[in-house]
Amino acid sequence: MNADLSSPRHTLTEDAQGLIVSALQAALGIHLLRAAGLITGGTAGLALLIAYAGGWSFGATFFLINLPFYALAYARKGAAFTVKSFVSVTAVSALAEAMAPFVPLGGIHPAAAAVLFGVVCGVGLLGLFRHASSLGGVSIVALIVQDRTGLRAGWVQLGYDLALFAAALMILPAERVLWSALGAVILNAIIAMNHRRDWYIVS
């Protein structure tokens, strides 16, 4: 099978619904984490850590952290990928904040939050990748590494996550960091096992 047949070709409507559904899943995952006081990897995890430490808005912090990465995305992945990633990051930033008053999760156990986050956000990221998008930052770098070396994006992100969690130990209780690590492992394992260059080729 040649590359043209194996690479998905989506209409504008298919891309729009795919990005909306995936952004909603990612935003729900972030909402689960915040309800339990957990973090994740990538720029989302960094934004959560900064938000916890400084009392800032996650949405605004996540949006601002990703701004420098769009130049790299444009240079390496092209305009379409960059625009879709910008739209996805902006949507998740807004939806994660808007969701809080409508989806109360008081009292959720950190273990449940971690597992549900890993599954929900992992599937959401797969959807974004399938529609040639990402949640910016480390996801962009991970996809570039995968395209160039074949090393799966999930494992690249996992390495960054471990460094971020080590830093989180200075701000969050160790128990919360461990539950956060569980969520990140589940998320990245889902991506590593299901996002393959021979299935979906991000162009």
The predicted structure's pLDDT at residue 2: 38
Helix (H) or strand (E) holding 130: helix 110-130
d(CA 123, CA 198): 18
In contact, 197 and 147? CB cutoff 8 Å:
yes
What tokens were used for 48?
């959560």
pTM of model > 0.85: no
pLDDT in tens, 126-177: 998 888 888 878 877 877 788 888 888 767 877 787 889 999 999 999 999 9
Residue 168 near residue 180, CB atoms below 8 Å: yes
